[in-house]
Amino acid sequence: MPSWQTRLFSAVARLLIKRGTRKPMVNEAEGAKRARRLFEPPEFLRPSMPAEVKIEPVNEGGVRGEWVEWLSNRGAAQQVVYYLHGGGYVACSPVTYRGFTSSLSRAAGVRVFALDYRRAPEHKFPAAIEDAVSGYRSLLEKGEEPGRIVIGGDSAGGGLAAALLIALRDRGLPPPSAAFLLSPWTDLAATGASLVTNEATDPILSGKTAAAIASLYHGYASPREPLISPLYGDLIGLPPMLIYVSDTEILLDDAVRFAARAKRHGVKVELRIENGLPHVWPIFIGFGLPEARQTISEIAEFIRQHASSRQSKGVAKRSAA
């Protein structure tokens, strides 16, 4: 059973967020404005950053975002997490995710680069995926080794992270060591049964408006385009993945079906389905959810295992040569 903190958070979210996500969209501008109001907490609700956290904004070569680093980790050879935030492609930013990215930096001993990709409806597909590719290229150009990079993302950012893996492979760019996806939105065609069956149990999102929100991003492009909905893509050759989702989420089937497809395509996937937790619960670490702390700890271990494993393989190949 979820902790009392998580049950309380879900009850409050149902009152403050779920009601708004159920309302039909009048037009694109109104839909984006409402999503940003619902998903971007006011500044007074955002967790303050401790002095041990260093935030370094980036805006160069068309790449925007910020580095987040727990200072006690400095001096060690660190892995990098390249993080793509959620928000339905229309809301949120690296700033709203600092509680999560700083906690992940501390737990995993990594530097986190959170990309500030262009948002819909002002910037529709392929803006977000092009920005994601550009951000990854910039990491490589600055000397980051792909074997020490782990890509992460949640919700829309989880779908974007999966699409990025496809784009990197198809463009011949070296892949990261692994990826973790939190409640990923992998099917913007909105065909998952859980959009209906979990409508009542999801305390944050509504399946009734999923297709309408998706259209703000994909516009006139087909929602089944793999770089929009990676569920429909060729996943052969992608790196190992860790996927989390809750059994009460409307995006349950997006995660389950994507994990199954990836496995059929030969990808090493670990799918963890939790019970009764809210959508992308790890990002709410600032609200004191015990499950958020536990999941971040598990992600940290996944990062250490896969980045070090990829590095060891690279050393072995260089030694053999």
Are 282 and 292 a contacting pair, CB within 8 Å?
A: yes
Distance CA 41, CA 60 (A): 27
User: Got the DSSP string for 291-305?
Assistant: HHHHHHHHHHHHHHH
Distance CA 256, CA 243 (A): 9
Are 271 and 259 a contacting pair, CB within 8 Å?
A: yes
Q: Considering 69, 183, 246, 279, which one is annotated as catalytic?
A: 279
Distance CA 259, CA 36 (A): 29
Which positions ≥6 away from 176 have C-beta within 8 Å?
82, 136, 146, 147, 149, 150, 151, 165, 168, 239
Does 279 qualify as catalytic in the annotation?
yes
Distance CA 245, CA 260 (A): 14
Ramachandran assignment for 150, one of left (phi > 0), alpha (psi -120 to 50 degrees), beta (any other)? beta
* Residue of 195, 216, 197, 217 whose CA lies nearest to 206: 195
In the numeric block, the tokens 């986190």 are attached to 112
181 has which bridge partners? 153, 243
Q: Give how far Cα 179 sits from Cα of 46, 83, 153, 156, 305, Å.
A: 26, 10, 8, 15, 12
Q: Considering 155, 177, 215, 229, which one is annotated as catalytic?
A: 155
Ramachandran assignment for 109, one of left (phi > 0), alpha (psi -120 to 50 degrees), beta (any other)? left
Q: Considering 66, 225, 249, 291, which one is annotated as catalytic?
A: 249
In the structure encoding, which two tokens stand for residue 230, read together? Answer: 């990676």
Give the catalytic positions in this structure: 155, 249, 279
